């Protein structure tokens, strides 16, 4: 089906990034926050951002919102939650969790509507996307006429958070919202007042691709009167009462960017211990991951018999059926069938992250498939990403596109598009990266 967004994604070649504004709002800010030897600031813009816009129909955005709210609602059902958490320590499973800060739902846009590919509990890039919005300029007249305008919002009966996305121009309100969601996590953990010290934690943070975003968050917390530092876990100290310290400062809250989702590695054991004793607030935390982002959870979303027994309505089952790709566990007993039908599937490690050890079935070799059988993996129906066509040296070049919806509780915070080339999402292709998103009516 030909839609307005598809036409613009195929044909529009407007440059929508004001490089001068991006230099002032992002690059110069990072230069002021970082030690020069740790980052090549001259390549920052090219590293993260595409100068071309991505276009999304308001109908698809509403469908993505519907999928997200349906999942959030079902995860509150007692029977459903118990089944998902049956391997999780019962003493921890009763704690509050709605996914933590910057929960993301990643979609591909198919001919049959948006398909949910993955849920992530430590999704990066939201703060970078705000810098992209600040540097976004108007496109061609044709696109401007196709935009959802403020005067159309009431007639479309849009949810409040989608209205905010359509009208989003000033990111200062969004930055205040970023601080607010950390404070809501703090209060939901039973803490009073404000945290005095927030640690942004990742392994060797200065080597991380998204280190510039860590700097932006540290600066944001400081601007709101909360001390913050970027810390590698080996520099944390656990005192005799089970509280975490960095240098001589007790840590109240950890913004967790680690990919050890259960905090099970020895170097993360201090964090896990303090979190279990409720001596530090960790967001996102192992419970958030177990409920929302564990890849085997997709098996539940496609299990009609279980959904019915858990009390999920027929309408909600229909929504999930339309938006969740077929997913299953890779087992030796189904290996012959999976190999013969491998072109239909993506193969993903159960406990993987990013695009590590993710394989498209039609690219698999026998030896790689054997490694998949030897490990713990899922197969997922291959949903081709939609395309964004860009001009390079006068030639039309296809880029793959996925959409990331950043969510807090049931509210959409931000919408991001990522343009890439290759099997899986990456930031290697020239003119790829985060792309300005335009919502069309």
Whether 169 has a pLDDT exceeding 70, the answer reads no
CATH assignment of 326-382, given 3.90.550.10, 3.40.640.10, 2.70.150.10, 3.30.1490.20?
A: 3.30.1490.20
316 neighbors 354 (Cβ within 8 angstroms): no
Q: What is the mean pLDDT of residues 29-56?
A: 73
246-265: pLDDT as tens digits: 999 999 999 999 999 999 99
Pairing of strands 197-201, 227-231: parallel
For the chain, where do the domains classified as CATH 3.30.1490.20 start and end?
326-382
CA distances from 229 to 86, 124, 266 (A): 36, 17, 22
For the chain, where do the domains classified as CATH 3.40.50.1760 start and end?
4-297+386-440
Whether 41 has a pLDDT exceeding 50, the answer reads yes
Averaged pLDDT of the chain: 87
259-298: pLDDT as tens digits: 999 999 999 999 999 999 999 999 999 999 999 999 999 9
Rounded to two decimals, the pTM is: 0.90
If one compares 393 and 200, the residue with the highest pLDDT of the two is: 200
* Percentage of residues in the chain having pLDDT higher than 70: 88
321-368: pLDDT as tens digits: 999 999 999 999 888 999 999 999 989 988 876 566 788 888 888 999
Whether 145 has a pLDDT exceeding 70, the answer reads no
Nearest to 98 by CA among 288, 254, 258: 288
Residues in the chain: 441
Q: Which of the four pLDDT bands, split at 50, 70 and 90, describes residue 179? A: very high
Written in H, E and C, the secondary structure of 332-365 is HHHHHHHHHCHHHEEEEECCCCCCCCCEEHHHCC
CATH number for the domain formed by residue range(s) 4-297+386-440: 3.40.50.1760
Q: Which of the four pLDDT bands, split at 50, 70 and 90, describes residue 137? A: low
Please report the pLDDT score of residue 151 as a whole number. 47
Nearest to 344 by CA among 325, 331, 329, 372: 325
- In angstroms, the CA 184 to CA 410 distance is 13
- In angstroms, the CA 247 to CA 202 distance is 17
59-108: pLDDT as tens digits: 999 999 999 999 999 999 999 999 999 999 999 999 999 999 999 999 99
59: exposed, middle or buried (Cβ count in 10 Å: 0-12, 13-18, 19+): middle
Please give the helix or strand (H or E) that residue 116 lies within, else none.
Answer: strand 113-120
Residue 289 C-alpha from the chain's centroid: 12
Q: Which residues lie closer than 8 Å to 361 by C-beta, 6 or more apart? A: 341, 342, 343, 344, 345, 346, 347, 379, 382
In this structure, is the dihedral angle defined by the CA atoms of residues 328, 330, 336 and 339, taken in order, positive or negative?
Answer: positive
């Amino acid at each position: 089906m030909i839609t307005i967004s598809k036409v613009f994604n195929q044909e529009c070649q407007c440059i929508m990034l004001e490089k001068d504004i991006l230099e002032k709002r992002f690059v110069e800010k990072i230069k002021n926050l970082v030690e020069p030897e740790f980052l090549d600031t001259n390549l920052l813009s090219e590293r993260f951002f595409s100068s071309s816009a991505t276009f999304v129909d308001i109908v698809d955005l509403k469908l993505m919102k519907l999928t997200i709210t349906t999942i959030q609602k079902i995860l509150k059902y007692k029977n459903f939650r118990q089944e998902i958490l049956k391997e999780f320590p019962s003493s921890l499973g009763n704690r509050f969790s709605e996914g933590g800060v910057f929960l993301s739902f990643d979609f591909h846009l198919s001919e049959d509507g948006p398909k949910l590919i993955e849920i992530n509990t430590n999704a990066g890039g939201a703060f970078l996307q705000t810098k992209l919005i600040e540097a976004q300029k108007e496109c061609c007249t044709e696109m401007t006429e196709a935009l959802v305008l403020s005067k159309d919002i009431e007639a479309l009966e849009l949810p409040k958070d989608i209205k905010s996305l359509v009208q989003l121009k000033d990111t200062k309100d969004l930055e205040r919202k970023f601080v607010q969601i950390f404070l809501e996590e703090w209060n939901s953990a039973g803490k009073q007042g404000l945290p005095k010290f927030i640690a942004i934690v990742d392994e060797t943070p200065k080597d991380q691709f998204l280190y510039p975003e860590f700097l932006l968050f540290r600066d944001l917390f400081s601007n709101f009167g909360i001390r913050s530092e970027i810390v590698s876990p080996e520099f944390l100290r656990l005192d005799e009462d089970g509280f975490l310290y960095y240098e001589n400062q007790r840590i109240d809250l950890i913004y967790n960017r680690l990919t050890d989702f259960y905090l099970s590695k020895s170097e993360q054991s201090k964090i896990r211990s303090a979190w279990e004793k409720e001596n530090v607030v960790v967001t996102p935390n192992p419970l958030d991951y177990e409920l929302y982002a564990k890849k085997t959870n997709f098996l539940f979303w496609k299990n009609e018999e279980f959904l019915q027994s858990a009390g999920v309505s027929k309408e909600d089952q229909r929504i999930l059926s339309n938006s969740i790709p077929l997913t299953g566990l890779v087992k030796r007993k189904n290996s012959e069938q999976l190999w013969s039908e491998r072109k239909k599937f993506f193969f993903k490690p159960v406990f993987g992250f990013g695009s590590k050890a993710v394989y498209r079935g039609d690219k698999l070799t026998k030896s790689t498939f054997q490694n998949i059988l030897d490990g713990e993996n899922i197969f997922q129906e291959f949903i081709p990403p939609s395309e964004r066509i860009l001009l390079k040296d006068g030639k039309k070049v296809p880029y793959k596109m996925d959409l990331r919806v950043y969510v807090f509780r049931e509210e959409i915070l931000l919408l991001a598009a990522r343009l890439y080339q290759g099997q899986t999402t990456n930031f290697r292709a020239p003119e790829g990266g985060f792309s300005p998103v335009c919502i069309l009516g």
